[in-house]
Amino acid sequence: MDPVRVDDRIFQIAGPRITGPYDCAVYLVNTGEHLTLVDAGSGFGFEKTVKNIEDLGFNPKSLGHIILTHCHFDHMGAAPFFRYY
């Protein structure tokens, strides 16, 4: 499944049906100033998550923030990967 446009600035870019069964719903928010992720996924679907960001026309290296809603691995496992991406 492809990323899902929630509205003009919010996209679901990862989740069980998008990147794999171990990822939570991950959202990309375009604030106009920078990109923000709400949760990061497990890490198992990291490459597909990055590809989804690119397919939407955004540069994953321009992520300004990652908001982790809580510390379950399906929500925060990929956070370190984005730090060094």
Question: pLDDT of 49-77, one tens digit each?
Answer: 999 999 999 999 999 999 999 999 999 99
Selection from 20, 24, 31, 25 nearest residue 58 by Cα: 31
What whole-number percentage of the chain has pLDDT above 90?
92
SS3 62: helix
Model confidence at 81: pLDDT above 90: yes
Paired residues of 35 in beta bridges: 30, 63
Model confidence at 33: pLDDT above 90: no
As a whole number of angstroms, the distance between CA 12 and CA 20 comes to: 13
**Averaged confidence pLDDT in the chain:** 95
pTM of the predicted protein model? 0.94
The beta strands (E) that lie in the chain are given as 4-5, 10-14, 26-30, 35-38, 63-67
